[in-house]
Structure 1
Amino acid sequence: MVAIVIQLIGAFFGTLGFCVLLNIPKKIWICSSFVGTAAWGMYLAAGNFTEAVVTLNFLAALTAAVLSQILARFFRAPVTLFLIPGIFPMVPGAGMYEIAYNAVRGDQELVNYYIMQTLQIAGAIAVGIFLADIVQRVIMPKSIKKS
């Protein structure tokens, strides 16, 4: 339990640092950091039911995208101010490191494995964001005609 809390705190502050780095308005920092924390929380919670890393990243990205849509409407701000920092904890940086490391070592089998895994994770994140955007566009049309 303590490890989960530490990971969530790390996700919050990591996302907060990314908000500062991206020069996001200060009034949005906490909510953007909450999106990253919630997405990582979904990743950890879903990890109790499956070990499929691609599925975990899809669910976390879907969570980040839905929360970003909601908060963007509430703050009347672009969705990307919440979404880009929100997916930060899920970016497959470790996989990219493993690709470079094993390429230098000359282990082509591991390079191929990590390339496929990294591409699948990136694809799952993209599909989660896309799905949330499509659902939002169907449920809440952009312009509502007034009579």
Structure 2
Amino acid sequence: MIRIFIISFFATLFTSIAFKAPNKAILPASFLGGFGSIIFMLVSKAVNYQMMSYFVATFFITVCSEFLARLKKMPITVFTVPSIFPILPGVKIYTAVAYLFLKTGKASEAIIEAILAVLGMAMAMVLSSLLTKTINKIITFLFLKTNLQTK
């Protein structure tokens, strides 16, 4: 587990540097990438369904990225894009395309696995964005309501 965290931390760190992320975003994004990979591995071991692993890890990364973006007053993509790199299903997509060109019988299964992984990540991003925006509106409403009552 520690090895996975360290590898993911540095992968996210170098991705952040390559994408020219602001200096104050590089370290939080790197920790987020490391913890996201740990969550991915834990869920993969607990549940034998890869889409769920991608969903849970991406959901965690996106919610934490929303929080960090508000805290640091920066765009969410500064945290999300580098942090999600360690869990991208690149090998699955490569394998699917390789099987497709080699014309083996495993191509359709590999393509479905790759599509499900990407679909799980996309659903997590959309749902986490909706959830954080809804919570933000509720907090804003409650804050405004209490301010109006005190005046």
Q: What TM-score does the superposition give when structure 2 sets the normalisation length?
A: 0.87
Q: Distance in 2 between matches of 1:126 and 1:137?
A: 17
CA distance in 2, matches of 1:67, 1:6: 22
Q: Distance in 2 between matches of 1:94 and 1:49?
A: 21
User: Residue 120 in 1 paired to residue 123 in 2?
Assistant: no
Deviations 1:42-76 (A, max 9, x none): 11222332121110010000000111011001100
Kindly provide the amino acid, as one letter, of the partner of residue 132 in structure 2. Q
Name the count of aligned residue pairs: 143
Unaligned runs of 5+ in 2: none
Q: What's the % identity of the aligned pairs?
A: 22
Structure with greater helix share of residues: 2
* 1:34 counterpart (31, 39, 62): 31
Give a deviation string over 1:70-96, Cα, whole Å, max 9, x none. 100110000111011111111110012
Match of 2:73 among 71, 76, 82: 76
Q: Which residue of 2 aligns with 1:25?
A: 22
CA distance in 2, matches of 1:51, 1:91: 18
Distance 1:92 1:45 in 2: 16
In the other structure, the counterpart of 1:139 is 135
What SS is found at the alignment partner of 1:140?
Answer: helix
Q: Which amino acid aligns with 1:138?
A: T
Q: Mind listing any 5+ residue stretches in structure 1 that lack a counterpart?
A: none
1:129 aligned partner, one-letter code? M
Among 62, 74, 97, the residue aligned to 1:65: 62
Residue 90 (structure 1) aligns with = 87
TM-score (norm 1): 0.89
Q: Secondary structure at the match of 1:123?
A: helix
CA–CA separation in structure 2 for the residues paired with 1:36 and 1:130:
19
The amino acid of 1:72's aligned partner reads A
Report the CA distance between 1:105 and its aligned residue: 2.0
